[in-house]
Amino acid sequence: MRTVMIFDTTLRDGEQSPGVNLSTQEKVEIAIQLEKLGVNVIEAGFAASSKGDLNAVKEVAQVVKNASVCSLSRAVKRDIDLAKEALQAAESPYLHLFLATSPIHREYKLQMSKEQVKTRIREAITYAKKYFSQIEFSAEDAGRTEIDFLCEVVDTAISAGATVINLPDTVGYLTPQEYAKMFREVINRVPRADQVRLSAHCHDDLGMAVANSLAAIEAGVSQVECTINGIGERAGNAALEEIAMAVKTREAYYQVQTTLNLKEIHRTSRMVSKLTGMPVPGNKAVVGTNAFAHESGIHQDGMLKHRETYEIMTPESVGLNESRLVLGKHSGRHAFKTKMVELGFELKEEQVNPLFERFKEFADRKKEITDDDLIALVEEKLVHAQDFYVMESLQVTCGNQSLPTASIKIKRESDGKTFFEAACGNGSVDAIFKAIDRVAQEKVSLEDYRIHSVTQGKDALGEVSVQLRQGELYVRGRGVSTDVLEASARAYLDAINRLIRRKGDYPAEKKAVTTV
Ligand code: KIV
Ligand code: ZN
């Protein structure tokens, strides 16, 4: 059976989703999880696009050992040099060069002739070849490129030394039949097309990204480029989990395999959703909360009699287990640590205590602590690892006859100074946010506020996600608690902390704080 390589671009194309902005620390956390998932290539960013991206690619390159780490690069020397610098520490560095080839891009964006495009591709790959053995060339907007010219471009790139050729449907325009035909023509017409890895990269503007990627696999490509939860530019990219489960569930049809550890799908999806602040729709294939829920009586009856009547894959196969009762307030540090390992968190000794303390706080308030609760707690702590402001206490008074009022005590970690503030608002959440604003003195607007429960039951953990805006800068924050008002305060303060970090006001000594 052929192996199809999985090129994950969650941290590059996925991060290009409107409103998403991952910190270096978050990118590293996701990259470690992608490595556990078993992807073959992790596109960690676009080193030349900003200092932040350069740094993120560097840090990912340092930690990932079992996947190639890739940086995107325009077909220019400066970008290639920066990608080289960023990937210096990578065990398996991978350069992703791109240049648009379609008539509309050549004429309006690049203002280059066909010959100039080919020359640029040849020169860039020849230059990159001095530093990289793995070079992918992407013909941006290949889907709308004249097929004769596309074959010339592919031939040029292979002759110059590209080892992977990617033909993206950049604007999500093609149908599966058209996309497959394009690859078949290239395979038939370009003499050495069988000596490189052909790659598919699809966008979801017409909802066909996954279907197009699968059609490309049928046409013979040996790599697909995708993102977790299908996040990405505009309508997004092809969803990794959907491609993975399609080829697994229909293995006899596709006759291909991947190197993925499918049981890590759910955890990866959840982490990406949390850290990007992009919720997964309930009806999303494979990872949506309804993906394995059976509502109608007839379906439930069928499921009870024989699971396969209505289920073509099991929730367990993607790592979605029943939320079991695991720990309670009498559980000790040892049991907690063991459970963390079981859940896949490799904690350093110094990280156990603060997490255990937070767990104990919860255990006092919530009788039954499930796996999902624990994951939410650890992920929150992980995200809040570099706090500038820390909430020490919160008090809220409200009622239908009184003005909601919040009093808050916040510590500034850099100098230990404590602030007390109080504010009234239109509602309790508004009052809390106003009180925090008085402490932080940041002019922000609240762009988004979401709340959902992590598990079921009256004492379920509430998870709040907010998005704040300051000028052009958007930041997200998250908070969890059994009390939704406290969760709201934690989420808002988290967003303020991120804003401060993003603006670079954070004291240097605090940047070294380790993460889970
Ligand atoms: O969609 C696209 O064409 C891209 C390229 C940079 C590969 O993301
Ligand atoms: Zn793309």
For the stretch 242-273, pLDDT in tens is 999 999 999 999 999 999 999 999 999 999 99
- Mutation to probe ligand 1, out of 41, 74, 109, 170 (largest number of atoms < 8 A from CB): 170
Write the residue with the smallest CA distance to atom 5 of ligand 1.
Answer: 140
Angle between helices 176-189 and 209-219 (to 10 degrees): 30
Among all bound ligands, the one having the nearest atom to the CA of 96 is: 1
Could you tell me which residues are annotated as the binding site for Mn(2+)?
13, 201, 203, 237
| Residue 358 clears pLDDT 70, i.e. is over it | yes
Which comes out higher in pLDDT, residue 34 or 507? 34
Tokens, residue 160: 């110059």
By mean pLDDT, which of 129-138, 268-277, 506-515 is the weakest? 506-515
Q: What is the pLDDT of residue 94?
A: 98
Q: What is the pLDDT of residue 510?
A: 33
Q: What is the pLDDT of residue 322?
A: 55
- Mutation to probe ligand 1, out of 10, 17, 72, 94 (largest number of atoms < 8 A from CB): 72
Query: Which ligand 1 atom sits closest to the C-alpha of 140?
Result: 3
CA of 274 to the centre of ligand 2 (A): 22
CA of 237 to the centre of ligand 1 (A): 10
CA of 171 to the centre of ligand 2 (A): 8
The response to whether residue 98 sits with its C-beta less than 6 Å from ligand 1 reads yes
CA distance 68 to 401: 61
The response to whether residue 242 sits with its C-beta less than 6 Å from ligand 1 reads no
Q: What is the pLDDT of residues 34-90, one digit of tens each?
A: 999 999 999 999 999 999 999 999 999 999 999 999 999 999 999 999 999 999 999
φ, ψ dihedrals at 462, nearest 5°: -95, 140
Q: What is the pLDDT of residue 297?
A: 74
Q: How far is CA 371 from CA 94, 258, 266, 352, 463, in A?
A: 37, 28, 13, 17, 15
The fraction of the chain above a pLDDT of 90, given in percent, is 67
Over the chain, what is the mean pLDDT?
90
Q: What is the pLDDT of residue 345?
A: 79
| Residue 25 clears pLDDT 60, i.e. is over it | yes
Query: Which ligand 1 atom sits closest to the C-alpha of 98?
Result: 6
Q: How far is CA 193 from CA 156, 186, 498, in A?
A: 11, 7, 46
| Residue 511 clears pLDDT 70, i.e. is over it | no
Q: What is the pLDDT of residues 430-442, one digit of tens each?
A: 999 999 999 999 9
Could you tell me which residues are annotated as the binding site?
13, 201, 203, 237
CA distance 516 to 513: 10
| Residue 235 clears pLDDT 80, i.e. is over it | yes
| Residue 197 clears pLDDT 90, i.e. is over it | yes
The response to whether residue 13 sits with its C-beta less than 6 Å from ligand 1 reads yes
pLDDT grade for 384, boundaries at 50, 70 and 90? low
The response to whether residue 319 sits with its C-beta less than 6 Å from ligand 1 reads no
The response to whether residue 35 sits with its C-beta less than 6 Å from ligand 1 reads no
* Cβ-based neighbours of 424, under 8 Å, separated by 6 or more: 403, 404, 405, 431, 434
CA of 65 to the centre of ligand 1 (A): 25
By mean pLDDT, which of 9-23, 265-279, 291-305 is the weakest? 291-305
Q: What is the pLDDT of residue 516?
A: 25
CA of 14 to the centre of ligand 2 (A): 8
| Residue 446 clears pLDDT 50, i.e. is over it | yes
Average pLDDT, integer, range 495-508: 72
The response to whether residue 14 sits with its C-beta less than 6 Å from ligand 1 reads no
HSE of 139, CA atoms in CB hemisphere, 13 A: 32
Write the residue with the smallest CA distance to atom 2 of ligand 1.
Answer: 170
pLDDT grade for 385, boundaries at 50, 70 and 90? low
Q: What is the pLDDT of residue 326?
A: 67
Q: What is the pLDDT of residue 382?
A: 65
Average pLDDT, integer, range 226-250: 97
Which comes out higher in pLDDT, residue 498 or 183? 183
| Residue 337 clears pLDDT 90, i.e. is over it | no
CA of 455 to the centre of ligand 1 (A): 38
Average pLDDT, integer, range 463-478: 88
CA of 109 to the centre of ligand 1 (A): 15
DSSP string, 430-459: HHHHHHHHHHH----EEEEEEEEESSSSTT
Among all bound ligands, the one having the nearest atom to the CA of 102 is: 1
The response to whether residue 7 sits with its C-beta less than 6 Å from ligand 1 reads no
CA distance 138 to 96: 7
The response to whether residue 168 sits with its C-beta less than 6 Å from ligand 1 reads yes
The response to whether residue 462 sits with its C-beta less than 6 Å from ligand 1 reads no
pLDDT grade for 116, boundaries at 50, 70 and 90? very high
Q: What is the pLDDT of residue 476?
A: 85
